[in-house]
Amino acid sequence: MKTIIILRDRYDDPMKYSIDHYIVRWRTAGYRVLDHIGPKDVPAGDLVVVHIDASVIPREYLDVINRFPKSINGRILDISRRNYSQILLSEADNYTGPALVKTNANYGGSPEYETKRPIRYRSMIAAGKVPSLIEIATQTPRILKNRLIRLGGKLWKRISPPNWRTLETLNPYQYPVFENIESVPTGVWDNPHLVVENFLGGEENGLYTSYYYVFFGDKEIAGRLRAPNPMVKFTTCVEDIEIPVPEIVREWRRELQIDLGRFDFLEQDGQFFLIDVNKTEGGGAANDQYADVNIGQKT
């Protein structure tokens, strides 16, 4: 019986990711599938699925990945936007259109922030550990402050506007759009955690457009989303139409050496531009169907 190792970096909610649904099907097909958290004492297996929710794979995982004869997503080690975004702007660019500020890390920088937090309540509880009162008292104010900033808390911004030079996270559903490069706060350009992009995909009849490409091995699908929010997401869209997969999108995948995941991209004047790479795809609406399923034989 073949053994598949799902290599993760944290505990999380059951059936949160698409990989959790694959696990159910693989076990039904007769494979032995083991979830493992962290880079230590990883069991041997025939295949490792690298499911580390971070833009840059931590160095301590690299030797572990290389020990396996085969891997899924074992070659894509860095999905920071500076590595792939095709619409990045610099302060010196001769560009007059609207400018979009994002985090260099994926999904508003939240996965990295969660990992760096001195206390991670959910993970500690899942591991059978209880945070002390001192830990809670000392860390909660800072955590709440960052949450309010990231979620666009108007009250906190009124009290203390964000310091663009040190900000590490943004709400991925509300990335700020500025009228032009000159309007972008100076601190943004000095912050290694932030990037500035050309704001493509303008509004048409009250809706904004984005495209996606979901793939695993030789299976793939592409589609067009339309939403009233400039940050077009599956959760905010009012239209989702399947389209033929553009060949340029397959080229991006070959260049990045990614086996499983999703690309988001935009179109302007018949040309496509890659804007987002996701290698830990969410489970979507199907989560509810498997809410009570035990996905992991934790090792």
DSSP 88-134: B--TT----S-EEEEESSSGGGHHHHHHH-S--HHHHHHTT----HH
Spatial strand order of the sheet with 177-178 comes to: 177-178, 99-103, 194-198
pLDDT for position 140: 55
CA angle 113, 167, 277 (to 5 degrees): 55
**CATH 3.30.470.20 residue spans of the chain:** 202-278
- Specify the CATH number of the domain 3-78+284-290: 3.40.50
In this predicted structure, the answer to whether residue 291 has a pLDDT above a threshold of 50 is: no
**CATH 3.40.50 residue spans of the chain:** 3-78+284-290
pLDDT digits (tens, 9 = 90+) for 103-160: 999 989 988 877 665 444 444 444 445 545 545 555 555 555 555 555 554 444 454 5
Which of 135 and 179 is assigned the larger pLDDT?
179
Q: What's the pLDDT band for 283 if we cut at 50, 70, 90?
A: confident
Q: Which of 1-5, 130-134, 206-210, 294-298 has the lowest mean pLDDT?
A: 294-298
- Average pLDDT over every residue of 268-291: 76
Distance CA 20, CA 293 (A): 10
pLDDT for position 191: 96
Q: Is there a contact between 149 and 94 (Cβ–Cβ < 8 Å)?
A: no
pLDDT for position 289: 41
Give percent above pLDDT 90 in the chain.
65
Distance CA 219, CA 215 (A): 6
pLDDT for position 122: 47
Integer CA distances (angstroms), 115 to 78, 123, 144, in order: 16, 10, 16
Give the fold, CATH level 3, of 202-278.
D-amino Acid Aminotransferase; Chain A, domain 1 (3.30.470)
| pTM of structure | 0.80
User: 200: closest CA among 172, 232, 235, 168?
Assistant: 232
Q: Is there a contact between 263 and 253 (Cβ–Cβ < 8 Å)?
A: yes
Q: What's the pLDDT band for 284 if we cut at 50, 70, 90?
A: low
pLDDT for position 148: 58
Q: What's the pLDDT band for 34 if we cut at 50, 70, 90?
A: very high
pLDDT for position 13: 82
CA angle 27, 62, 10 (to 5 degrees): 55
Distance CA 75, CA 259 (A): 9
The residue type at 89? L
Q: Find the farthest-apart pair of alpha carbons in the chain and give their distance in angstroms, rounded.
A: 61
